[in-house]
């Protein structure tokens, strides 16, 4: 049986986490972005999203539809893996607000989760299952088991129903809090009460701000530490906020600017 804390074993703040591989420096959720984050920016963890293709393969992508990131349109789930592999996943990426598109026509493709796991066999990965499709959790669980990757992934969904199904099929894996469970933890704490105990989830993947309210504070850090919970905040691209979070000792910083975060971490002299 896999120990529940396998994913968290040996982790020390603050982790450098490339959000979608670094969505502001390379085409998001592609091997090109992931390699850049790992090889140039020394990321500690990749954050990515997965969907099911029409033929039941687990592919890495954030959106339900294709037009924002590729040269195609329409729902991702309507296409087979073979059809999706033909698309240009670097087509829309522009580092300068549409003046240039440096990755167009360079063979950038949507990768499968299996490809990512094999490309980075020792790296920890934060995996969000996107579609609310009954049975998707079983497909994902089978893939992770086949790849012997359960000890290095933390799983979850924004939607509580999906997250609960993932816990059910993989009870011994690391799971991050879904939206409602996360809100319950934070809101009760903000009200001066003890947050509810929930052994299903080990990691709080959470926004740094809710509106104008900064959610990370001493009380949250203390409550999480007392309960053995890890905190990763998203999506932090401002250098001043990076510096502050590093001083606070946050568990991990998810960023679309892994280049900038690496600069700030190296300048701070802190491990990571």
Contact assessment for residue 25 and residue 191, using Cβ atoms and an 8 Å cutoff: no
Structure-token match 């009200």, residue found: 191
pLDDT, residue 6, reads 85
What's the burial of 77, exposed, middle or buried (CB within 10 Å: 0-12/13-18/19+)? middle
- Is residue 2 predicted with pLDDT exceeding 70? no
- Is residue 270 predicted with pLDDT exceeding 80? no
Q: What is the largest CA-CA distance in the chain?
A: 55
pTM of the model: 0.96
Q: What is the mean pLDDT of residues 97-106?
A: 97
Distance of CA 136 to the CA centre of its chain: 18
pLDDT, residue 209, reads 95
- Is residue 271 predicted with pLDDT exceeding 80? no
- Is residue 102 predicted with pLDDT exceeding 90? yes
103 upstream amide cis, omega within 30 of 0: no
pLDDT, residue 146, reads 98
Q: What is the distance between the alpha carbons of residues 201 and 15, in angstroms, rounded to a whole number? A: 19
Percentage of the residues of the chain whose pLDDT score is greater than 70: 97
On whether residue 7 sits in a domain, the answer given is no
On whether residue 1 sits in a domain, the answer given is no
- Is residue 272 predicted with pLDDT exceeding 60? no
Question: Phi, psi (5° rounding) for residue 98?
Answer: 95, 5
Mean pLDDT score across all residues of the chain? 95
Q: Which pLDDT tens digit goes with each residue over 178-193?
A: 999 999 999 999 999 9
Q: What is the distance between the alpha carbons of residues 129 and 136, in angstroms, rounded to a whole number? A: 8
Q: What is the CATH number of the domain that holds 65?
A: 3.20.20.190
On whether residue 4 sits in a domain, the answer given is no
Work out how many domains the chain is built from and give that number: 1
Q: What is the distance between the alpha carbons of residues 83 and 54, in angstroms, rounded to a whole number? A: 10
On whether residue 106 sits in a domain, the answer given is yes
Q: Which pLDDT tens digit goes with each residue over 40-89?
A: 999 999 999 999 999 999 999 999 999 999 999 999 999 999 999 999 99
Q: What is the mean pLDDT of residues 85-112?
A: 97
Give, for 268, the enclosing helix (H) or strand (E): helix 258-268
Q: Which domain holds residue 116?
A: 15-268
Q: Which pLDDT tens digit goes with each residue over 126-157?
A: 999 998 999 999 999 999 999 999 999 999 99
pLDDT, residue 1, reads 47
Nearest alpha-carbon partner for 202 in 180, 182, 217? 182
Expressed in angstroms, the distance from the first to the final Cα of the chain is: 30
- Is residue 159 predicted with pLDDT exceeding 60? yes
pLDDT, residue 269, reads 79
On whether residue 173 sits in a domain, the answer given is yes
On whether residue 97 sits in a domain, the answer given is yes
């Amino acid at each position: 049986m896999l120990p529940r804390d396998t994913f968290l074993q040996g982790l020390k703040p603050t982790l450098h986490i490339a959000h979608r591989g670094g969505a502001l420096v390379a085409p998001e959720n592609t091997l090109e972005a992931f390699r850049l984050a790992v090889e140039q920016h020394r990321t500690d963890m990749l954050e990515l999203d997965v969907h099911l293709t029409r033929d039941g393969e687990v592919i890495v992508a954030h959106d339900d539809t294709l037009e924002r990131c590729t040269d195609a349109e329409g729902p991702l789930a309507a296409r087979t893996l073979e059809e999706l592999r033909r698309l240009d996943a670097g087509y829309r990426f522009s580092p300068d607000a549409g003046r240039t598109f440096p990755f167009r026509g360079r063979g950038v493709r949507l990768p499968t989760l299996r490809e990512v796991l094999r490309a980075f066999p020792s790296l920890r990965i934060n995996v969000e299952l996107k579609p609310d499709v009954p049975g998707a959790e079983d497909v994902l669980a089978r893939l992770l088991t086949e790849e012997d990757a359960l000890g290095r992934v933390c799983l979850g969904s924004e939607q509580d129903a999906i997250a609960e199904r993932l816990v059910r099929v993989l009870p011994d894996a690391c799971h991050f809090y879904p939206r409602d469970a996360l809100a319950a933890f934070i809101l009760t704490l903000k009200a001066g009460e003890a947050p509810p105990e929930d052994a299903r989830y080990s990691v709080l993947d959470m926004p740094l701000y809710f509106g104008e309210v900064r959610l990370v504070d001493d009380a949250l850090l203390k409550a999480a530490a007392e309960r053995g919970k890890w905190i990763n905040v998203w999506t932090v691209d401002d250098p001043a906020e990076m510096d502050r979070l590093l001083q606070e000792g946050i568990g991990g910083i998810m960023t679309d600017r892994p280049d900038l975060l690496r600069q700030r971490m190296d300048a701070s002299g802190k491990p990571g």
